[in-house]
Amino acid sequence: MNKRYVWIMAGALLSLPLFAQNQKEYPGRAPMTHEMTEYWWPQPPIVTPGQAPVDPIPAPSDAIVLFDGKDLSKWENSKGGPAEWTVHDGVFTVKKGTGDIRTKQKFNDFQLHLEWCTPVGIEGESQLRGNSGVFLQGMYEVQILDNYQNETYVNGQTGSIYKQTPPLVNAMNKPGVWNTYDIIYTAPTFKKDGTYRTFPRVTILQNGVLLQNNTIIQGTTPYVGFPEVIQHGAGPIGLQDHGDASAPISFRNIWIREL
Ligand code: MG
């Protein structure tokens, strides 16, 4: 061992107590349960949307088509491998147990269109009935759930910012009928300390009916616990494999316009 190395080691050891002093310990948060962030009242009023289109609504000319009915080449699994959900008859369906999927491309501000459908004869209740979700920038979940004649906690029903803000109304089509989502999203900006300078914001229409009107997103959307602010840049559009026992849901006609 040479002399210089010894001095460096000695210096490091001597500075340890100083370092430890700077690492002040604060009390941890009390443990939480998922029920602590769920509320069931008031239930949003039910609005019957206009007649659903039989065929997909065509994408505008400047849109990036993320699913055109043929394959999932624009998507990947959460490890960066191929998306394994099942493509059939111009749509794709959640393949339970294969995990969430996300777009390969990352986005900032956008207008997103997608269509989704729960199958006729779907069973289960509350959250265990066609549960999926759209993740904005891979961070913030807009809930997808079959809430047709199926109540749940309102900040977890279709069109909610999950565990944060319930939708203005319940505009569900019944199982077997396609639902449209049009989502207009503004990405957050961050201060140097990693907190929001401007919050993320979102407007959501389901079947042409307004569910969220430029709503502030307060942070991440965990099942247990409060929203957290995590600094991030551009992110993918994610779709959730919730893994519940009810029949899986299908998607079609997904396109996005960057803003
Ligand atoms: Mg979900």
Given a contact cutoff of 8 angstroms between Cβ atoms, the answer to whether 119 and 228 are in contact is no
pLDDT at 23 (0 to 100): 80
Is a pLDDT exceeding 80 seen at residue 249? yes
Nearest to 239 by CA among 114, 88, 73: 114
User: From the CA of 243, how far away is ligand 1's center (Å)?
Assistant: 10
User: From the CA of 237, how far away is ligand 1's center (Å)?
Assistant: 14
Q: Could you tell me the pLDDT band of residue 245, with boundaries at 50, 70 and 90?
A: low
Q: Could you tell me the pLDDT band of residue 120, with boundaries at 50, 70 and 90?
A: very high
Nearest to 239 by CA among 96, 67, 113, 94: 94
Nearest to 255 by CA among 58, 29, 4, 87: 58
User: From the CA of 28, how far away is ligand 1's center (Å)?
Assistant: 28
pLDDT at 244 (0 to 100): 78
Is a pLDDT exceeding 90 seen at residue 18? no
Is a pLDDT exceeding 90 seen at residue 22? no
pLDDT at 29 (0 to 100): 85
Given a contact cutoff of 8 angstroms between Cβ atoms, the answer to whether 134 and 238 are in contact is yes
User: From the CA of 89, how far away is ligand 1's center (Å)?
Assistant: 24
Whole-Å CA distances, 108 to 71, 74, 189, 236: 24, 17, 10, 9
Coil, helix or strand at residue 155: helix
User: From the CA of 200, how far away is ligand 1's center (Å)?
Assistant: 19
pLDDT (mean) for 21-41: 90
Q: Could you tell me the pLDDT band of residue 158, with boundaries at 50, 70 and 90?
A: very high
pLDDT at 21 (0 to 100): 53
Residues near 130 by Cβ (< 8 Å), separated by ≥ 6? 118, 122, 124, 144, 145, 146, 175, 246, 247, 248, 249
CA dist 44 and 21 (Å) reads: 52
pLDDT (mean) for 73-82: 97
Is a pLDDT exceeding 60 seen at residue 4? no
pLDDT at 47 (0 to 100): 98
Q: Which two tokens stand for residue 97?
A: 């147990």
Nearest to 112 by CA among 238, 250, 242, 241: 238
Is a pLDDT exceeding 70 seen at residue 13? no
| Amino acid at site 211 | L
Q: Which two tokens stand for residue 168?
A: 């203005």
Of 97 and 22, the one with more pLDDT: 97
